[in-house]
Structures are given as structure tokens and as C-alpha cells.
Amino acid sequence: ILLVVMTINHLIWVSGGQTMLQLFTLEPFGQFGAAEGFILISGLLAGLVYSQPKYSYKQLKEKAFLRAFEIYKYHIVSLVALFFVMVTFLHFVPETETLWRMKLGNFIDEPVSSYLLSLLLINRPPFFDILPLYFMFMLCLPFMLLQLQKGRWWLLMAVSITLWLLSGSIKGQMLSEPLISLSPSLTADLGYFDPFAWQLLFTLGVVMGYVKRFSRFNVASHFMFNKLIVA
């Protein structure tokens, strides 16, 4: 449902219009949209699935790292495919250059440097910052679960909240000077999703999933049981 909602919103934005449908799809309950819910649920499922007792720490680390590099592989392959689509359009439909330059200006001006920086996940064009986000999440997941296994949920949440608070002071401009040394026309394109900010939702989800895995207390069943007793 959250993916459908995000698709609807982006199709509306790309068309440059607005519809009554957005009353239900665009943050209907305040400053929390489908993307926030999607990342929270992703963290919850990761915490629930990867904390299964059948996995040793070594096994869950291998499993998480394997998934992380699978995500990384799809990200790089997608960027290569996008680059060839862009080159094809620029050759056969040159009037689309303005649109491509708005989204992928770095790849037009400095294709080699841009792709090398994309391999390092520093250059993240619009709509291509989601998979790098999940790549980082999956790399950190084993260490997050290790802290939970040791009962250090408070430390994990303290670090996560601290990173979230500092995220506003970590700007893309900090990368501008090093990038200029590579090429004067290359600029930092870090995308919309700031990993230092969005990690808080994923971390919170992981904690919820881990607690659900090992907690014997079910809030919903407890509430219904109390209602039956009162009745």
C-alpha cells in the first residue's frame, strides 16, 4: 500500500499537477508520509527476521552483508542502464537534454568522475538514493542486533537519536571542495534521503522487530482479554 501511495504521488508530481486524491495519499495525518512508514516497516521486518534464534551472529552477519551487496549490485546496474537510456535519448531526441540535465547534470558534464563517485555512493542522482540508503542500513544491521542481544537498546537508540540531531549540520556542501579538486564542473548530488536522518526510523523499526521476536507480551491480545473480562 505504501509503495502504491508513493507511486501515485510521484506520478502526480512528475505531471506537474495536483488532484483531490492527494488528500489521502500526501501526508494525510501530518508530516509523516508513505516513505517514512515504508522505512519504519522495513526496519521492523529486518529486526524480526534477522534476529531468529536459528542464526548465530556470524550467520546473520553473513546473511545481512550478502543482502547489502545484492542491493549495491542492483543500484550500480540500474545506474548503468539509466546512463545508456540517457545517452540514447540525447542522441536521437536531443531536445530532451534540458530534462536530463536537470536530473543527471553530473553524468552529462563529467560521466567518468560521476560514475566513480556513484560507485562510492557519494553521487546519488534523484530517485537513486533509496538503494544506497538500504545498503548502509543492511551493513549496520548486524551490529545493531548485537547491541540488542547484549541488552544495550538504550545505547543503540542514543547513538541513533544523536545522529538524527546532527543530521541538520551535515550538509552536501562539505563535499564541494574535494569534488572541485576532481573537476570544477562536478557538484555533490546526495539525493533527498539523508542517511543520518532517516536511519532513526529504521533503527526504531529494528528495535520494535527485535522486541516483538522475543517478547511474550502481546498488547493487542492483552487488551482484548481485558475487554472480555470486563464484559
pLDDT at 17: 78
Q: In the chain, helix, strand, coil percent, each to 5?
A: 75, 0, 25
Question: What is d(CA 8, CA 13) in angstroms, rounded to the nearest whole number?
Answer: 9
pLDDT (0 to 100) of residue 221: 45
Identify the CA nearest to 206 among candidates 33, 41, 32.
41
Question: What's the confidence (pLDDT) of residue 190?
Answer: 76
User: Strand, helix or coil at 98?
Assistant: helix
**Residue entry with cell 540500474:** 78
The pTM assigned to this predicted structure is: 0.83
3-state secondary structure of 150: coil
- Report pLDDT for 185: 67
CA dist 22 and 8 (Å) reads: 9
Name the one residue in this structure whose C-alpha cell is 574535494: 178
Torsion of CA 116, 121, 126, 130, to 10 degrees: 140
Residue spans of the chain under pLDDT 50:
217, 219-231
Question: Could you read off the pLDDT of 66-106 as tens digits, one per residue?
Answer: 999 999 999 999 999 999 999 999 999 999 898 888 888 88
User: What DSSP string describes 61-79?
Assistant: HHHHHHHHHHHHHHHHHHH
> What distances in angstroms separate CA 179 from CA 10, 105, 127, 184, 217, one per listed residue?
30, 15, 21, 8, 52
Note whether 206 and 46 are within 8 A (CB). yes
